[in-house]
Amino acid sequence: MSDFVNEFWNWYVILIVLVSIIACGVFLWTQSISHPSGGQTTDTTGHVWDETLQEYNNPLPRWWMWLFYGTVVFSLVYVVLYPALGRFPGAFNWSTAGEHQKEVEKVDAQVKPLFDKYLKMDLKAVAADKEAMEMGGRLFQTYCVQCHGTTGQGIQDKGFPNLTDKDWQWGGEPAQVVETISNGRTGMMPPYGGNPDAVGGEAGAREVANYVRSLSGLSHNSELATKGKTRFDAVCFACHGQDGKGMQALGAPNLTDKVWLYGRTEDKIVEAITKGRSNQMPAWMEFLGEAKIHLLSAYVLNLSTGGEKK
């Protein structure tokens, strides 16, 4: 109830709740005094069906009436003790967020010694520990599978990297992996389609695409590739290097291997050059904390042959 845009809605909810409860109590009271004796009556409502079937005006049994009164009293006590009246938190100051936090703290207190044990260990030593990898695997299945898949092989041609191969866009040293998971990464290939002077429009982009395909041994048009090299050396080398092997510090991919995040067809490469690409690895430090990230980093290293450098 803390997201009301103004006080009107806060008081609106309070009035609706209180009026509803009080109205129920008043209605019960009016029904209770209809027949002070509480006994049965032979009065009818005047409704008759099938000539002799009459509707009698009999009161509810007293025990039933008192049950209804009990629900009204219970409701009044509830809205005093628990959050039910707008922003009022209730006498107990109870909230679902608070209950969740208590559960998290309880679990953290139980597992913290184990997490601290692995946090003190070298990342590669953690990657070699079977129990640690079981824990890291559960973390991976909870937080990472949406993009990287259950096996860590990513989603090909969609920009989600394969974590089981030997290719690292931002570096595969333990410290670099920890940095990637902790603070995230933002990769961006600028679009050149709107700047004909850069790569010569779509025709020039197709020449560059053929040159890029030649770098990794893919089939290509040699004539276009020769022209594309000139454009590559003038524009693309700043990030991908003169030899096309990329620059991990910038997250610029190696164009000479067989790894393609968005596809290796000529049309896909032309699309990347003309429209650009934007990709982001979210930062997990604030959500997971140092100890869990340490385990996750070790697990990711273990996915690629025991954490050897890629």
DSSP 110-138: HHHHHHHHHHTS-HHHHHT-HHHHHHHHH
* Tokens 């920890």, residue located: 178
Burial code (b: 16+ CB inside 10 Å, e: under 16) for 81-104 equals ebbbbbeeeeeeeeeeeeeeeeee
Neighbouring CB atoms inside 10 A of 247's CB total 13
* Grouped pLDDT means (10 residues each) for the chain, 310 residues: 73 93 90 58 73 78 89 95 90 91 88 90 93 95 94 86 91 94 94 82 93 94 94 92 92 91 92 92 94 95 64
pLDDT for the residue numbered 189? 92
pLDDT for the residue numbered 3? 63
CA-nearest of 227, 210, 217, 159 to 189 is 159
CA-nearest of 281, 305, 295, 108 to 186 is 281
pLDDT for the residue numbered 294? 96
Strands (E), 24-141: 44-49, 53-56
pLDDT for the residue numbered 2? 55
pLDDT for the residue numbered 310? 36
The Cα–Cα gap between 26 and 241 comes to 82
pLDDT for the residue numbered 258? 84
Domains and CATH numbers, the chain: 7-94 (no CATH), 103-184+282-303 (1.10.760.10), 188-281 (1.10.760.10)
pLDDT for the residue numbered 236? 92
Residue 119 · residue 136 · CB < 8 Å: no
